[in-house]
Structure 1
């Protein structure tokens, strides 16, 4: 909707004629000693609507019945940019019971600075100030971030616009080019009227936004431009030709008597919002405001314009609204965040009715934390802060029964210390299985109850500046198998056996082969039967000793590998000794005795002795398990003899049965 100067003047006159009282600013800070959980500071533009949403009295109207609170009952404490009642910009506030008193943050930039230093614990507003660690929870901001990063999230609350409050009919209609030239100092008269440009104080979000909209910066702003407190027309529009950027929402709320009055005296003297030729719009200049039932109201075309329309934000620590973070603040989340099925308390019908009353336009993205839906992210707004984020931790992994354990060592130190670690587990399709945030003192975490599959785990170290580089592991997670084995003591020459049983967790039946090794030597393999069992026969010529065998199962696509050790004792074989000898021999002849030594599974070797009583009378060496021993000449008479097998490294010794030879 278009509105030219004559209409704007009519609106201002109508408001004054309507008898709206020129109220002095009402106290809007929380009552002294009435500390609330969610402390906000910063923007002058949104302070009054936040005060109302906090349930305080604003310009004589109590908003206690529409106070916004979290599900746990936590309320908002919104502190004005300047001291209510006095207008002082040098007063202090105390936001927590027993907390420090610190300079009242004046404007969006200072509000974001205070929030940043409440996180870092540094002094506000300079090193000569006081530490305000934990004293601020959110910042009111009429503009986006000025520092890149992710430490802060800018949550849109509503739509505002920046207009130009002017005095004098010569400035009824302005263009962006004229505004550029006026504020750069190259244009000093408009329609024959000398211009007197004013600009809000340093740190003002309106100042920053307006300069960007007309293509200037603080560096290119004319030094002749006078600085004033933002959104206060009475102090700015003191002469014809005066002009100052102004929040349209604040102008509407003040002129309608909703917000404390800093502008109606100027409006009664002819001050008004100029119509602006919006860039890209060839249909004529657009007034930021119209009148509805005798009250000012926003012109949506002006608010929607990408040059002069703007979102206004509540700025919060990103980690405080991250539901997976150990720093998650449920109360802050309840009040400010709309995500999925969760609706911000500030986006309730009652809250949006209050927002509209203060001259803002409600949008569907109230409370959004998605950058695709008007949210923004930025870094800590504190000079001299090292913006480095941590490097990647050094990670080790242990795969268990449907589980994964990650342990890590901290990365190299950064200027801002590690505050926490974020562990994320995704499946083979990239779907997030789990996210866990743990304190900086924690160095391990386990995921349990996983199904079979390939997973990717990442571990990041985080500090206040944001998320560091990720350490990544990708691998298979399976169920556990358990391998058990038994053996029996076995004599050399007999086949030793290893009875193996493999079981799988979660009811999974193991399949495949198992392998038995002695050191690095494979002794045997076997295939599991349907019950997960197999008996593996080994070589019957294992060294006589106690062997420590390893039994390993390689696993399957569903089961992890497993192994066990089992002791196998190999003893010497038992020998049998038989003899064949003549029953009589001439005393002049030498008798020959055949001795045969046998053992199961092996052919004994070694020495055989022939004894008469305890005296060895002859020896022989086995060949092929037998030997023919020639005896010495025996004296006449009957001789009782026996053979004795000495034994070997693999066969036990053995004494043969007695035999008799008669020497004649």
Structure 2
């Protein structure tokens, strides 16, 4: 790609080299009739002939098939004229896809951008009386910048043009900006003795919008007496002395050099020409064109002037040229975008040669998508449409092994539905680590294989108007761990233990603490040893029951927390029952029997009975695990008895060994 502007001499050299056909029949739209190509463009008639040539079609009898710009896949460009070729009709229809609808031909930059908008929204073009053209247009030719704010569209510059004033009559050879302002506002009707007859291009024309802005007017302040004519057609506009109309200088050159279809040479033969204009800040006037070897060529000073010089654009959906978007169109990107080492097809040497032939100037920023380098951003150009972007989704993040899973819920509905979600991960230094665009039906995405460290993840929802505010999460990415715990059935009064093992991961040995809880109650904590293990002793007086435990590892600087569940069964203690009783007693006396009930880790409580056979001889309650009972008088003879401890909530029941008392 050339990085310097073409000079007037270079253009003129191309004109007289014999490579251009002159005064040949005009052809436009993809040829032959019925040809369909992938990348469909409509809109501005200022750039239509140049785009037709760059698409490889025949323009004014000259075939440009040999220099057709195509994507790497071979996908071609289909550029449709603003008015019907041959007839000049502004009410004819076009069909841009096989089996697609037939719809009104978009006439001018504004209508082209409107068609592109409705191709995205699926609305009817040009209004409710038309047909839905969803998916029928891929780009719009535009000779002016955005009319609405937003980010839905990227205006990609691909050449430099200028707006001049085509006039008829020598009285208008030189004009100033102030004079043009007054002429078109209606306050100046005579210049140098000549009554002026101003004309203005049709509504929606990019040249119209640009020119009015350059002279300090708008459609609202334009005199209502100024008639409308088709843009860039001098033959119909300059039909009397004193007539004047804003005109693309590139189009004037191309028509009068025989490069583009002829809508101006009849007027030129009758004396129509481009007036010299006193540019703001200059003392003299500058003519937009020079004659080199008998042909017209651009004047660089006029083209580069900030007031009348202008970039011309190809307008594309911003999401379609974003390589990270689910809507990325590689073919569109190949043809229109210059970024990094990627060069737009329209910025190739061959394409720039075609651009120069049509009276436009090549610039180094051809294909730029950077707003700091001549690209522009704009919104959908459809009246009455909701211009809001989606609210932030509700975001949840779950960290995994060197990963984070982001889950979200859709934001509340707006006028335009959510089309996709943008998920972005940045490091602690703010550098973007990864970006992923996912479809509207997706509700989660996982970034995996991450280095340890702090990251911020954001998720934003987008619709055709652009991306809304992002939901954000910031956290530390670590490795996962696995915690295991084992227990053994333990009798009440004995110390239950939980053996915990936290597995190492990625060569990192777990360190830190583990905690045992039952519900929200902490039962014990422990510190992992050098092998990632810990044994935690719990209270020996846990309730007799099966306890549902949660065993948690608290993590460390490199490892995430983890937990597991474990069941711990506490059973009743098994007691020992001993009896001390006299071996012999008089039948006239009462024997005293001492019973002692003991168990590991607890002092049994409860009732003890003395049985002789099935007959209860005495009953009492333990105190401190001991009880002395006085038996009733025993009949003469040998009595065999035993003590029965009835047990408690924590200690099992148990019989003592038999003992005998001889009553004499």
TM-score, with length taken from structure 1: 0.92
1:270 aligns with 2:285: no
Partner Cα distance (1:22, 1:52) in 2: 15
Q: Please say if residues 290 and 299 of structure 2, whose CA atoms lie closer than 8 Å, have aligned partners that are also in contact.
A: yes
Q: C-alpha offsets along residues 283-314 of structure 1, whole Å, 9 cap, x if unaligned? A: x2212122344432212111111000000000
In structure 2, the partner of 1:363 is 363
SS where residue 651 of structure 1 aligns?
A: coil
Q: Please say if residues 57 and 64 of structure 1, whose CA atoms lie closer than 8 Å, have aligned partners that are also in contact.
A: yes
In structure 2, the partner of 1:186 is 187
Please state how far the C-alpha of 1:208 moved relative to its aligned partner. Answer: 1.1
Q: Please say if residues 93 and 102 of structure 2, whose CA atoms lie closer than 8 Å, have aligned partners that are also in contact.
A: yes
In structure 1, the partner of 2:287 is 287
In structure 2, the partner of 1:340 is 340
In structure 1, the partner of 2:578 is 578
Q: C-alpha offsets along residues 208-244 of structure 1, whole Å, 9 cap, x if unaligned? A: 1111101112222223333222222222333332222
Question: Pairwise mapping of residues 64-213 of structure 1 onto structure 2 (< 5 A)?
Answer: 64-213=65-214
Q: C-alpha offsets along residues 494-523 of structure 1, whole Å, 9 cap, x if unaligned? A: 111111112354443322111212333322
1:646 aligns with 2:646: yes
Q: C-alpha offsets along residues 94-143 of structure 1, whole Å, 9 cap, x if unaligned? A: 11111222222111111111111222222222322222221111111100
Q: C-alpha offsets along residues 537-595 of structure 1, whole Å, 9 cap, x if unaligned? A: 11111122211122222333333332222111111112222333333333433333333
Q: Evaluate the alpha carbon distance shift between residue 230 and residue 489 of structure 1 in structure 2; reply closer, same or farther with a 3 A threshold.
A: same
Q: C-alpha offsets along residues 295-354 of structure 1, whole Å, 9 cap, x if unaligned? A: 322121111110000000001112211222222211111111112222211111211111
SS where residue 150 of structure 2 aligns?
A: coil
SS where residue 627 of structure 1 aligns?
A: strand
Bigger shift: 335-344 or 390-399? 390-399
SS where residue 45 of structure 1 aligns?
A: coil
Please state how far the C-alpha of 1:24 moved relative to its aligned partner. Answer: 5.4
Partner Cα distance (2:382, 2:632) in 1: 113
Partner Cα distance (1:646, 1:506) in 2: 57
SS where residue 534 of structure 2 aligns?
A: strand
Q: Please say if residues 165 and 246 of structure 2, whose CA atoms lie closer than 8 Å, have aligned partners that are also in contact.
A: yes
Q: C-alpha offsets along residues 411-459 of structure 1, whole Å, 9 cap, x if unaligned? A: 3333322222333333333333333333333333333334444433333
Please state how far the C-alpha of 1:39 moved relative to its aligned partner. Answer: 0.7
Question: Pairwise mapping of residues 579-594 of structure 1 onto structure 2 (< 5 A)?
Answer: 579-594=579-594
Question: Pairwise mapping of residues 26-41 of structure 1 onto structure 2 (< 5 A)?
Answer: 26-30=26-30, 31-41=32-42
Q: Please say if residues 160 and 310 of structure 2, whose CA atoms lie closer than 8 Å, have aligned partners that are also in contact.
A: yes
Partner Cα distance (2:192, 2:523) in 1: 105
Q: CA RMSD in A?
A: 2.5
Q: Please say if residues 69 and 75 of structure 1, whose CA atoms lie closer than 8 Å, have aligned partners that are also in contact.
A: yes
Q: Please say if residues 22 and 264 of structure 1, whose CA atoms lie closer than 8 Å, have aligned partners that are also in contact.
A: no
Q: Evaluate the alpha carbon distance shift between residue 121 and residue 637 of structure 1 in structure 2; reply closer, same or farther with a 3 A threshold.
A: closer
Q: Evaluate the alpha carbon distance shift between residue 621 and residue 21 of structure 1 in structure 2; reply closer, same or farther with a 3 A threshold.
A: closer
Paired residues in the alignment total 650
Q: Evaluate the alpha carbon distance shift between residue 571 and residue 200 of structure 1 in structure 2; reply closer, same or farther with a 3 A threshold.
A: same
Q: Please say if residues 24 and 62 of structure 2, whose CA atoms lie closer than 8 Å, have aligned partners that are also in contact.
A: no
Q: C-alpha offsets along residues 154-213 of structure 1, whole Å, 9 cap, x if unaligned? A: 111111111112223222222111111222222222222332222222221111111110
TM-score, with length taken from structure 2: 0.92
Q: Please say if residues 379 and 465 of structure 2, whose CA atoms lie closer than 8 Å, have aligned partners that are also in contact.
A: yes
Question: Pairwise mapping of residues 380-391 of structure 1 onto structure 2 (< 5 A)?
Answer: 380-391=380-391
Q: Evaluate the alpha carbon distance shift between residue 414 and residue 610 of structure 1 in structure 2; reply closer, same or farther with a 3 A threshold.
A: closer
Please state how far the C-alpha of 1:25 moved relative to its aligned partner. Answer: 4.9
SS where residue 301 of structure 1 aligns?
A: helix
Question: Pairwise mapping of residues 605-620 of structure 1 onto structure 2 (< 5 A)?
Answer: 605-620=605-620
SS where residue 658 of structure 2 aligns?
A: strand
Q: Please say if residues 22 and 259 of structure 2, whose CA atoms lie closer than 8 Å, have aligned partners that are also in contact.
A: no
Q: Please say if residues 21 and 62 of structure 2, whose CA atoms lie closer than 8 Å, have aligned partners that are also in contact.
A: no
Q: Please say if residues 526 and 536 of structure 1, whose CA atoms lie closer than 8 Å, have aligned partners that are also in contact.
A: yes
Please state how far the C-alpha of 1:47 moved relative to its aligned partner. Answer: 0.6
In structure 2, the partner of 1:5 is none
SS where residue 657 of structure 1 aligns?
A: coil
Q: Please say if residues 607 and 622 of structure 2, whose CA atoms lie closer than 8 Å, have aligned partners that are also in contact.
A: yes
Please state how far the C-alpha of 1:23 moved relative to its aligned partner. Answer: 1.9
Segments of structure 2 that go 5 or more residues without pairing to the other structure are 1-7
Q: Please say if residues 278 and 307 of structure 1, whose CA atoms lie closer than 8 Å, have aligned partners that are also in contact.
A: yes
Q: Please say if residues 404 and 447 of structure 1, whose CA atoms lie closer than 8 Å, have aligned partners that are also in contact.
A: yes
Question: Pairwise mapping of residues 501-650 of structure 1 onto structure 2 (< 5 A)?
Answer: 501-503=501-503, 505-650=505-650
Q: Evaluate the alpha carbon distance shift between residue 491 and residue 349 of structure 1 in structure 2; reply closer, same or farther with a 3 A threshold.
A: same
Segments of structure 1 that go 5 or more residues without pairing to the other structure are 1-7
Partner Cα distance (1:25, 1:277) in 2: 37
Partner Cα distance (1:417, 1:248) in 2: 42
SS where residue 33 of structure 2 aligns?
A: coil
Q: Evaluate the alpha carbon distance shift between residue 22 and residue 185 of structure 1 in structure 2; reply closer, same or farther with a 3 A threshold.
A: farther
Partner Cα distance (2:542, 2:229) in 1: 99
SS where residue 462 of structure 1 aligns?
A: strand
In structure 2, the partner of 1:4 is none
Q: Evaluate the alpha carbon distance shift between residue 39 and residue 576 of structure 1 in structure 2; reply closer, same or farther with a 3 A threshold.
A: same
Bigger shift: 524-533 or 403-412? 403-412
Please state how far the C-alpha of 1:477 moved relative to its aligned partner. Answer: 4.0
Q: Please say if residues 517 and 551 of structure 2, whose CA atoms lie closer than 8 Å, have aligned partners that are also in contact.
A: yes
Bigger shift: 564-573 or 596-605? 596-605
1:57 aligns with 2:33: no
Partner Cα distance (1:24, 1:184) in 2: 39
1:480 aligns with 2:489: no
Partner Cα distance (2:21, 2:335) in 1: 33
SS where residue 543 of structure 2 aligns?
A: coil
